[in-house]
Structure 1
Amino acid sequence: MNDDKTMLYHANDLIFELPARLKDKTMHMFTLSDDGASEFSMVVSHAETQPGEALEEFGARLIQEMMRALPKFQLRHNLDAVLDNAAALDLAYSWRRDGIFMHQRQVIALTQGDSPGSTRAILIAATCLSAFSDEWSAAFDRMLASVKLRRPLGAAAQLAQATPAPAPAQPFIFALSERRRLLHVFGDQEEACRKTDAREVEQDAWAFFDAGGRPLQARFMVPNSGSLWRKSGSYVLEAAAPGSTALGERLIPGLMLQGGGAGLPFASIAEVRTHLQGAGGARTEG
């Protein structure tokens, strides 16, 4: 190796002089067991960004790569978040592996790269062998809240000093049944799709909205069966067509709230209405 330049490298248990030409492919993995599949696991890694690439652009590129690489890939949500006062993305998705669906949440933020003016992405991914339980969702959220970035971007650090950090985005989903006069609050899209009957969804008995009250529409991945056994299909939620009515305009009198568990802060329809006004989701433009 002709290049004698080195950089001081910090690992978990040691610090050493590393030849600058070597690329850092460090990955930290945490599991519940020594052997075999783990009910919950977490991996911290990083990836190089392209010159001038913004966080949203990196996230879009990552999603495209996963769509090509992971069988039956389904994006559950793609939300803005905050990691140690830095802008971040919170992705949730599933894919099929060895006959079962794996479920993953991944939070991404940009940090300073090794060369002046460069950036790289830090990726924190939690994986479950089945849908995330409330226990593991809460454990992952607590870990994220404790993160301190060693090399935050300068602009992000200055912004954090100048203004209070926004609250982390909550990926909850509203499900409205006007016929039942009932508003459900689910922890995320996966829970909403799992707990709302697909046949009723197909009959437009439920209307869905994101955390800001913006309307969502169901797209069926597996159609409902018309057979004797009436097997339900499966669906995902995506942004509704322009002109769809926002949740704030559909909070009819007499509506009852169902939900408000851990991390879901609403105790009444009045609190939902106040939240939507603050989120700008009371009205949708056509």
Structure 2
Amino acid sequence: MPYHTNHATFELPAQLKDKTMHMFTLADEGPSEFSVVMSHADAQGDDSLVNFADRLVAELGNSLPDFRLLNRVERTVDESPAVELAYRWRSAGHLMHQRQVITMLPRTEAGEVKAMLIAATCLSQFTDEWNGAFDGMLASVKLRHKTAPAVTEVASSAPAIASTVFALSERRRTLHAFANHDEACRKTDAREVEHDAWAFFDAAGTPLHPNFVVPNTGTLWRKAGSYVLELRPERGAASLRERLHQASVFVAGSPAVRLSSIAEVQAMLNQPTES
């Protein structure tokens, strides 16, 4: 795959794993009063931001002496959902303090999911100066994947994109993109669909409506049925273009999906349709 660094690009062999880490310190040698590290970590399957943060807290608690979580808040990084963890632990007799911000990255072409972590560490409690420095860095972050592709780039993928089906969860503020109808129906829980937890759209953003061919059964423990998606022009419903603001997280349902961000979906929907 093509790999980009600050000063060069090169072809990265497929068997090599990307363990890139950027570290910024105040001094060339010895401990730094304040430092920032940006790194990436593998997520598990369809990990959500919340699940990833929960697992990270548990891992830190098991690995760091005298670990204590001081605060956990939801925030954004370049308008993308993020979680900030503030905690401290004991190292060599000193209480170290860290603020760590986590945001999820789009699924790769190979189907992998990664989280980006930006962590600021102080040898003692954060001062106003270091809080301000870290907040300023976070406010300046621009995520490269959010840059919308040129219309020509989207058009070149038109054959693959034409069959795309979108599933929007307003409650989760999540937009899933699936390669086709079959994949969307297989991977979206029929029990949630029955309770209108998901809204479906075709590649043009036109609403699709579920039609259950096998009903959900049971009362206490419900067994999922199956359904198909249909166009029903007689039923008025908002288009994906009108509802896209309800999504803040994008998830590609399979490696076959040629989209990687909400910005790319917006660019696709903004293309003029052929008459």
User: Shorter-chain TM-score: which interval?
Assistant: 0.5 to 0.7
| Equivalence for 2:57 | 63
| Equivalence for 2:75 | 81
CA shift, 1:115, in A, is 2.9
Letter paired with 1:89:
V
SS state at 2:89 partner: strand
Root-mean-square deviation (CA, aligned residues, Å) is 2.6
Matched, 1:9 2:3: yes
Contact residue 70 and residue 95 of structure 1 kept, 8 A: yes
Matches for 1:103-252 after TM superposition, within 5 Å: 103-152=97-146, 155=175, 162-163=244-245
CA distance in 2, matches of 1:63, 1:15: 35
Letter paired with 2:50:
E
CA shift, 1:114, in A, is 3.0
Matched, 1:42 2:5: no
CA distance in 1, matches of 2:49, 2:146: 13
CA shift, 1:127, in A, is 0.2
Letter paired with 2:70:
R
CA distance in 1, matches of 2:89, 2:114: 26
CA shift, 1:14, in A, is 1.0
CA shift, 1:112, in A, is 1.7
Match of 1:52 among 33, 46, 50: 46
Matched, 1:72 2:66: yes
CA distance in 2, matches of 1:126, 1:54: 23
| Equivalence for 1:30 | 24
Letter paired with 2:53:
G
CA distance in 1, matches of 2:36, 2:20: 14
Letter paired with 1:86:
S
CA shift, 1:151, in A, is 2.4
| Equivalence for 2:180 | none
TM-score by length of 1: 0.51
| Equivalence for 1:94 | 88
Give me the identity figure in percent: 51
Please say which of residues 13-22 and 23-32 is displaced more in the overlay.
Answer: 13-22
Where relative contact order (Cα < 8 A, 6+ residues apart) is larger, the structure is 2
Contact residue 85 and residue 165 of structure 1 kept, 8 A: no
Contact residue 74 and residue 81 of structure 2 kept, 8 A: yes
Question: Cα–Cα, structure 1 residues 50 and 152, in superposed 2: closer, same or farther, change >3 Å?
Answer: farther
CA distance in 2, matches of 1:71, 1:152: 38
**Where does structure 1 lack aligned partners over 5 or more consecutive residues?**
1-6, 167-286
CA shift, 1:118, in A, is 3.4
CA shift, 1:13, in A, is 1.6
CA distance in 1, matches of 2:107, 2:144: 11
CA distance in 2, matches of 1:49, 1:152: 20
SS state at 2:55 partner: helix
**Where does structure 2 lack aligned partners over 5 or more consecutive residues?**
148-173, 177-239, 249-275
Contact residue 175 and residue 247 of structure 2 kept, 8 A: no
> Once superposed, which parts of structure 1, at least 4 consecutive aligned residues long, lie more than 6 Å away?
none
CA distance in 2, matches of 1:141, 1:36: 25
CA distance in 2, matches of 1:9, 1:85: 25
TM-score by length of 2: 0.53
CA distance in 1, matches of 2:145, 2:116: 10
CA shift, 1:150, in A, is 1.6
